[in-house]
């Protein structure tokens, strides 16, 4: 949940109270228009204060002047935009987060007239999204709250050249911000509250936005032959679910595009149980499914002109007298068999059945799955990139471009016949674990066996979805990673083509 600002968009004008935020370059000068608004005394005050505080106007640096004598505001906050190199590729969402982090009052006005940086209505909308994402916190279960917390509401005025144009764009994009927050909330929820059934109910709430939602229970999945997914679920007292979400915003005859999420609401490892230290974090092993729900919210909210299928496999992996064992062999919906080597390699079993179901039923243009799948991806990429595996170069390139545009970056990893050979089993068609070497690639190789010839990409988000490094728009444990990436992919490469 977020302690969001009330954001207003207003035309440039005189500011009488609260915090006033302006921007300067490395020469410590605001734009001519802002300098005129502030007056010569205030501009001179900025230069004197900068000299006293050794403020150089570098990108992301800030200086605060309390009760500036020449202005009627409570505080003048000066943010640096840096030099020419810094101004070339400004991440406006991150800039919004930076602004939100500097505001500590009930009212603040930001003059979005930046030295040598064009601030379009699109850029302002991104700044507003960044502000709200930075304000996010998850304190639903805290009974004592800090009354002095600076996040307790507030009003932020973004002073812009064309308020009407900004309002229109922001209204269309507000659903993206909401989708990220939905994903964060889902990942942050405790596992005793959010089981497979409860998660499915959260997905079903998308029906209010016009999303068609269908829930498959254990009985329906058994009838379909989804024994890989059901094998994971059988150790838990809580049955599994699959939620199918459909947004039909494109042409009636257009094939859909599909997004699939791993939704292990808690992963103990099963019989191959994990160590106790850090196991509480395994409530986040459903971050891929959380992203898909957040994405479907974003697309439906802005009435995306695309046909989209979202599918999430929801299970809990627990040790129990009925749990599957190493050595078991399960038959997937595709008819292919998998030998269980390690019950903690369960996410690929869930995805195998869901991927097959989606490609078989919906015949999509492409499929992308997201999963907190392997610890090996953290060894390779730390927490800076998600691992990208794909059977289609064009899809991989588009994902890479969307990652660069949003800051949710992906790095393409190898996927070839050598890795497929490593998952061969003596007793079944394949095995679910192939040892330590190339662990992320062998996991992806197994998934590839369930996509047929459909263009497909797998995103291993184990390092980016939870516990990832904090930045200007995320100060919590769950990042909501992937919602902005995939919304951008849809917007730039599929809606744009009609």
Six-digit token pair at 47? 């230069």
Is residue 150 very low, low, confident or very high in pLDDT (cuts 50, 70, 90)? very low
Catalytic (active site) residue 348: yes
- In order of 178, 203, 285, 288, 296, the CA distances from 206 in angstroms are 12, 6, 22, 17, 8
- The yes-or-no verdict on residue 301 having pLDDT over 70 is yes
Pick the CATH number of 174-494 from 3.90.1210.10, 1.10.10.60, 3.40.630.10, 3.90.470.10: 3.40.630.10
Nearest Cα residue to 60 out of 38, 87, 37: 87
Spell out the residues 6+ positions from residue 497 whose beta carbon is closer than 8 angstroms to its own.
none
346 annotated as ligand-binding: yes
328 annotated as ligand-binding: no
C-alpha span between 244 and 417 (Å, rounded): 32
Region 104-127: what's the mean pLDDT?
94
Beta-carbon-side half-sphere exposure of residue 219 (alpha carbons within 13 Å)? 0
Place of tokens 């228009």: 33
Predicted confidence at residue 189, as pLDDT, reads: 98
Predicted confidence at residue 136, as pLDDT, reads: 94
Percent of the chain with pLDDT over 90: 92
Query: What is the fold of 6-161?
Result: 3.40.220
Catalytic position from the list 87, 155, 255, 274: 274
- In order of 136, 187, 189, 277, 350, the CA distances from 1 in angstroms are 6, 12, 11, 27, 29
262 annotated as ligand-binding: yes
Predicted confidence at residue 153, as pLDDT, reads: 67
pLDDT for 450-474, tens place per residue? 999 999 999 999 999 998 889 999 9
Region 358-387: what's the mean pLDDT?
97
Q: Where exactly are the structural domains of the chain?
A: 6-161, 174-494
Predicted confidence at residue 147, as pLDDT, reads: 55
Is residue 152 very low, low, confident or very high in pLDDT (cuts 50, 70, 90)? low
CA angle centred on 93, ends 88 and 95, rounded to 5°: 65
Predicted confidence at residue 334, as pLDDT, reads: 98
Catalytic (active site) residue 106: no
Predicted confidence at residue 496, as pLDDT, reads: 59
Nearest Cα residue to 317 out of 348, 271, 255, 284: 271
- The yes-or-no verdict on residue 151 having pLDDT over 60 is no
Region 57-85: what's the mean pLDDT?
93
Region 106-127: what's the mean pLDDT?
96
pLDDT for 210-259, tens place per residue? 999 999 999 999 999 999 999 999 999 999 999 999 999 999 999 999 99
Cα 460 to chain centroid distance, Å, stands at 13
Percent of the chain with pLDDT over 70: 97
C-alpha span between 134 and 99 (Å, rounded): 9
Nearest Cα residue to 178 out of 300, 90, 95: 300
Do the domains 6-161 and 174-494 sit in the same CATH topology, yes or no? Answer: no
Predicted confidence at residue 466, as pLDDT, reads: 93
Region 428-438: what's the mean pLDDT?
96
pLDDT for 306-354, tens place per residue? 999 999 999 999 999 999 999 999 999 999 999 999 999 999 999 999 9
Six-digit token pair at 188? 């942050």
Place of tokens 């969307």: 402
Catalytic position from the list 75, 184, 283, 348: 348
């Amino acid at each position: 949940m977020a302690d969001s600002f009330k954001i207003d968009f207003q035309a440039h004008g005189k500011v009488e109270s609260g915090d006033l935020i302006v921007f300067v370059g490395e020469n410590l000068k605001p734009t001519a228009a802002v300098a005129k608004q502030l007056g010569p005394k205030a501009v001179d005050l900025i230069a004197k204060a900068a000299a006293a505080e050794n403020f150089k106007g570098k990108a992301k640096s800030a200086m605060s002047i309390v009760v500036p004598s020449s202005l009627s505001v409570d505080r003048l906050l000066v943010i640096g935009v840096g030099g020419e190199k810094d101004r070339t590729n400004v991440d406006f969402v991150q800039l919004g987060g930076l602004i939100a982090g500097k505001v500590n009052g009930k009212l603040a006005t930001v003059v979005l007239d930046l030295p040598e940086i064009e601030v379009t209505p699109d850029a302002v909308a991104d700044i507003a999204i960044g502000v709200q994402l930075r304000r996010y916190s998850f304190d639903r279960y805290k009974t004592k709250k800090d009354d002095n917390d600076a996040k307790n509401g507030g009003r932020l005025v973004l002073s812009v050249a064309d308020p009407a144009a900004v309002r229109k764009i922001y209204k269309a994009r507000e659903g993206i911000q909401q989708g990220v927050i939905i994903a964060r909330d889902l990942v942050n929820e405790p596992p005793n509250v959010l089981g497979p059934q409860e998660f499915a109910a959260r997905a079903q709430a998308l029906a209010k936005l016009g999303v068609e939602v269908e829930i498959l229970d254990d009985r329906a999945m058994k009838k379909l032959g989804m024994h890989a997914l059901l094998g994971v679920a059988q150790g838990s007292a809580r049955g599994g679910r699959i939620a199918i979400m459909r947004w039909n915003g494109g042409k009636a005859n257009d094939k859909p595009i599909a997004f699939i999420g791993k939704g292990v609401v808690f992963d103990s490892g099963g019989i191959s149980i994990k160590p106790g230290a850090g196991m509480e974090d395994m409530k986040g092993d459903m971050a891929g499914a959380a992203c898909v729900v957040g994405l479907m919210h974003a697309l439906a909210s802005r009435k995306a002109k695309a046909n989209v299928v979202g599918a999430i496999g929801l299970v809990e992996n627990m040790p129990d007298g009925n749990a599957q064992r190493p050595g078991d062999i399960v038959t997937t919906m595709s008819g292919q068999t998998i030998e269980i080597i390690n019950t903690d390699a369960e996410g690929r079993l869930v995805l195998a059945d869901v991927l097959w179901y989606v490609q078989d039923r919906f015949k999509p243009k492409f499929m992308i799955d997201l999963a907190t799948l392997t610890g090996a991806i953290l060894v390779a990429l730390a927490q800076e990139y998600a691992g990208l595996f794909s059977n289609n170069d064009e899809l991989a390139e588009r994902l890479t471009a969307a990652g660069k545009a949003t800051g949710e970056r992906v790095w393409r990893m190898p996927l070839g016949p050598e890795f497929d050979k490593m998952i061969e089993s003596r007793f079944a068609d394949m095995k679910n674990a192939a040892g330590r070497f190339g662990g992320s690639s062998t996991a992806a190789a197994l998934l590839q066996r369930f996509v047929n010839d459909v263009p497909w990409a797998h995103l291993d988000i184990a390092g980016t979805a939870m516990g990832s490094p904090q930045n200007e728009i995320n100060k919590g444990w769950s990042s909501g990673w992937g919602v902005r990436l995939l919304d951008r992919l849809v917007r730039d490469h599929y809606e744009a083509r009609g």
